Amino acid sequence: MGKIKYLIIGAGISGLTFANYIKNDYLILDKESEVGGYCRTIRKGDFIWDYAGHFFHFKTDEFRNMFLNKVNDEDIIYKDKCTKILYKEQLIDYPFQTNIHQLEKQEFIDCLYDLFNKEEKEDYDNFLDMLYGKFGKSIVEKFLKPYNEKLYACDLHTLDKDAMGRFFPYADVKQIINNMKKNEDVSYNNNFLYPRNGAGSFIDILYNNLDKDRVLLNATVVSIDYENKIAKTSDGKEYEFEYLINTVPLNHFLKLFEDEELLKLEEELSYNKVLVFNLGFNKKSRFTKEHWMYLPEKKTNYYRIGFYDNILDSDKLSMYIEIGYSKNANIDVEEQLNLTIDNLRKSNIVSEDMELEEYVSIIMDPAYVHITSDTDKKVTELKKKFENDRIYTIGRYGGWTYCSMEDCMLEAKNLAQKL
């Protein structure tokens, strides 16, 4: 067993990016049979799906060019985002708080009244407290509270006030009022690009830049010897490392150490699971412009749906459906599939004469991490301790945070250059 300078656990976007910038003595281990992590693309019949909705909003020319210079122009689709909220059988522009003028009159008055009479504070105790302080009772209880409860599958009191960071669509009273006359979407993802062959084609570019002999698939890490810096895989092989770069979910990573404190922290980490259905029907829906929709009402099992066909301009309905669960929930996939189809028909998203041709189900575990003040502090302290021993845990899941794909790439690049 020779010592590896950089042992990378996980061949998702963070691990592949790190290896792209190290380009010397590294080895990537991944338990799956293909690279990509949650950024993989699935092809079935006439349909192309990702594991979940992945759309690119590059802010840096470096990463944009890294991909676009290696993809034919005709294989890249550029879109101005068209997103809606299906609220009481009515389509409202997203975000809800800047489009309350689209509600029926009495609901609009309720929202506007509560917005002007909201009780703001210098500091907020938690995520739900922040919502009430920023937007008032009606906006919160009509959309922000029920939607985020479905998404996170938890009590919103337990989340940190900044749990969503820059991804939360904040808006002040002036913005909300101005939007009533001039609709303006200032969210971070108001336009996006998408590869015609799915998000996985971008992952392939990162992978193809690497030495394939340095990427071992079907290699599940089962334990890490902290003191001797040795990782052991399920086939009994051992890999000694100088630096360990973890990109797999932190809760899974902590289980690899025989350390009571780390196992205690693993139990404390909170997150949700998401059941994703990718559905392919024999013809289009009545919704032909929308890219994705948010559904706050509890009577509907899913919180968000997306339309790949409206992005790819294809002639059959191709959807992703997302359903949130607590981390310990048992998921009955078949039951949820039947309920999903039933709800799609009740909402007239799918008509009675439309037939399901193909589908794939995926359980993302974890999906969205729950940012809480207590665990965030402990994770930050753990990262500092790890770094002293040349162990780094990065990315959306390795870092236990809420960030974009590009954020993950930037973090991986910066760490590679630092080391």
Structural domains of the chain sorted by starting position, each given as residue range(s) with its CATH number in brackets: 3-40+198-270+371-418 (3.50.50.60), 55-94+185-196+272-368 (3.90.660.20), 98-174 (no CATH)
Give the helix/strand (H/E) hosting 363. Answer: strand 356-364
- The answer to whether residues 188 and 2 touch, using CB atoms and an 8 Å cutoff, is no
Q: Is 350 left (phi over 0), alpha (psi -120 to 50) or beta?
A: beta
Whose CA is closest to 162, among 316, 337, 371? 371
361 is written with which tokens?
């189900």
- Residue 307 · residue 285 · CB < 8 Å: yes
Q: Supply the Cα-derived Rg of the chain in whole angstroms.
A: 22
| Nearest residue to 352 (alpha-carbon basis) of 251, 305, 282 | 282
Q: Mean pLDDT per segment of 10 residues, for the chain of length 419 residues?
A: 90 97 93 95 95 83 93 94 95 94 96 92 93 95 97 95 76 80 64 92 95 96 95 96 98 95 96 97 97 96 97 96 97 98 97 97 96 92 96 97 92 97
Give residue 12's pLDDT.
96
Alpha carbon 307 to its chain's center: 17
Q: What is the pLDDT of residue 164?
A: 79
pTM exceeds 0.75 for this model: yes
Burial 173-199 (b: 16+ CB within 10 A, else e): eeebeebeeeeebebeeeebbbbbbbb
Sequence-ordered strand ranges (E) for 152-190: none
In three-state secondary structure terms, 118 is coil
